[in-house]
Amino acid sequence: MDQMIIRCLLSLTLFFGVLGAARAQSPKPVRVLIWDEQQPEQAKVYENFLGNALADHLGKRPGIRALSVNLSSPDQGLDSATLEATDVIVCWGHRKHGEIKNERVEETVQRVLDGKLGFIALHSAHFAQPFMRLMHERAKADAPKLIPEAERATAKFDFSVPLKRNLVKRDAKLTPSLEKVDGVWRLTPPACVFPAWRADGAPSHVTTLLPDHPIAKGLPAKWDIPQTEMYDEPFHVPTPDTVVFEEHWDKGEKFRSGCAWQVKQGRVFYFRPGHETYPVYRQAENLTVIENAVRWVSP
């Protein structure tokens, strides 16, 4: 009898070991939500919109399930049930950032802060409300580290200055910034913008600064993007934890084009290349960046 029990226990141990190994080799897919503003101009390159093209590509990659939504989707594609079924949002927007409902923005941001959602902003989504809010949250978290150490224990902060979607001049004070006013440290939020851009389609040259970072997996040390819009530094955002890629142009401009932040419990990544009338997201290297970033920011 004892030997029979032992054989049964060994069989069960083997069964559950094999089951556990199978599960370890077949993790749940990363559930990706592509949020696309869907400008009509996209039709010049993306016949069925940029977001749908990205969802189609990512959905064919192993371990990824992708869905594309837009402003016309129910609750703008950001309803609670959809967010609950999402691990990563990839955001594309350009002219209609202000049309997203505040409650949808806040729920999205809170899920990132809680570590339930990763967020990727592409190109002109630097002005997307969720990205700006997340950069503001990071700026608030960084604020105590930016004042004299002797004041940190008793310092008072004013985080009430509102976010504004305004352009900046090249000589503008870099944001986020802190200023002491009547004994209180007042935070000017990150403008999440830059002083210059050119939509002339000139090629850019990308350098991989951190080849060992997961987002750089499988990418060359350098590659060119034949057509893209130009953005020029300084980028008014909190100092990134890592800058994976840098981009430069033949006329001398440069940009931190792959920036990553931890914002409370969530991960955020910004990838700069783009413009809806250039085939930036049909190029293999750029699609690899997005796929790698999806896997890295996923909780």
3 state DSSP class of 222: strand
Listing DSSP states for 126-147 in one string gives GG-HHHHHHHHHHHHHHGGGGS
Give the pLDDT of residue 148. 94
Give the pLDDT of residue 21. 45
Could you tell me the pLDDT band of residue 7, with boundaries at 50, 70 and 90?
low
What tens digit of pLDDT does each residue of 82-135 get?
A: 999 999 999 999 988 999 999 999 999 999 999 999 999 999 999 999 999 999
Other beta carbons within 10 angstroms of residue 41's beta carbon come to: 14
Query: Which tokens belong to 198?
Result: 């050119």
* 150 within domain boundaries: yes
Inform me whether the pLDDT recorded for 238 exceeds 70.
yes
For residues 42-69, give the mean pLDDT.
97
Inform me whether the pLDDT recorded for 5 exceeds 50.
no
pTM (two decimals) = 0.91
The rounded percent of the chain whose pLDDT value lies above 90 is 90
Phi and psi angles of residue 137, each rounded to the nearest 5 degrees, phi first: -60, -40
* 5 within domain boundaries: no
Give the pLDDT of residue 12. 42
Range of the domain at 109: 28-297
* 22 within domain boundaries: no
* 6 within domain boundaries: no
What distance in Å separates the CA atoms of residue 122 and residue 64, rounded to the nearest whole number? 19
* 283 within domain boundaries: yes
How many structural domains comprise the chain? 1
CATH number, domain of 189, equals: 3.40.50.880
Could you tell me the pLDDT band of residue 27, with boundaries at 50, 70 and 90?
confident
Mean pLDDT estimate for the chain: 93
What tens digit of pLDDT does each residue of 258-295 get?
A: 999 999 999 999 999 999 999 999 999 999 999 999 99
Phi and psi angles of residue 286, each rounded to the nearest 5 degrees, phi first: -70, -35
Query: Which tokens belong to 30?
Result: 């990363």
What distance in Å separates the CA atoms of residue 270 and residue 132, rounded to the nearest whole number? 11
What tens digit of pLDDT does each residue of 158-195 get?
A: 999 999 999 999 999 999 999 999 999 999 999 999 99
- Helices and strands counted in the chain (H then E): 6, 14
* 60 within domain boundaries: yes
Give the pLDDT of residue 13. 45
